[in-house]
Each structure stands twice: as structure tokens, then as C-alpha cells.
Amino acid sequence: SAVISQKPSRDICQRGTSLTIQCQVDSQVTMMFWYRQQPGQSLTLIATANQGSEATYESGFVIDKFPISRPNLTFSTLTVSNMSPEDSSIYLCSVGVQGEYEKLFFGSGTQLSVL
């Protein structure tokens, strides 16, 4: 199994500011994903973080709002830009190995509150 360290675990931010969330894995993984869990709702995929190239965003999510970096096979960041109260959610990193779709692991999440 993969051990995922996600930081920060929680933060309270002012509207209009940006927050960068880090996801560090203890082993090389081919797949890294970022999900959002809005209050009382399910998890929604934001994007697939691609190593060495631009992330692949799902419908409704754009790079300007959620820029993602993935410089290597063990690390990724998600930035929530120009935040508004509607961005208050839990953001989760998920990792897996290509072809082993049944083995996806999740970080403990970042709980973000925007005032």
C-alpha cells in the first residue's frame, strides 16, 4: 500500500487569496488525482495530475482556478486560486499504479474554509 502525506490538514483563508495543497507519496506511483468533497456531498474529481505535463481537468474545473503541478512520481500540488466561500470543501489526493485500478489510495484530506 501507499502512504500519502497531505498538507495542510486544514486551513482557514480569506476570500481572494490562494492556497497550495501538497501531496507526498512514499513510493513512485503512476496515477495521481485530486478530488473535492463539498459539505454534505460526494467526492468529485477535479483533475488527473500528469507527471511532466499539464494536468487533465474534468468538466467544470479549469487550470486558472485549480493549477496543478506534478514534478515527479511521488509529489503533486493543487492550488485553489482567488478563493471564495464556495471553495470551502475537503480536497483529497488519490494515488495508484497504472493498470492496478483496484488499488487506489487516498490522503486524509485538506479541510478548507474560506471566509
Site for another protein, rule CB under 8 A: 31, 33, 35, 41-45, 48, 92, 94, 96, 98, 101-102, 104-109
When the beta carbons of 24 and 48 are compared against another protein, the nearer one is 48
Those residues whose C-beta lies under 8 Å from the C-beta of residue 90, and which sit 6 or more positions away, are 36, 37, 109, 110, 111, 112
CB 65 within 8 A of CB 79: no
- Provide the minimum distance between the beta carbon of 16 and another protein in the complex, in angstroms, as a whole number: 29
Least distance to another protein, CB of residue 22, Å: 15
To the nearest whole angstrom, how small is the minimum distance from the Cβ of residue 101 to another protein? 5
d(CA 96, CA 33): 9
**1 or 14: CB nearest another protein:** 1
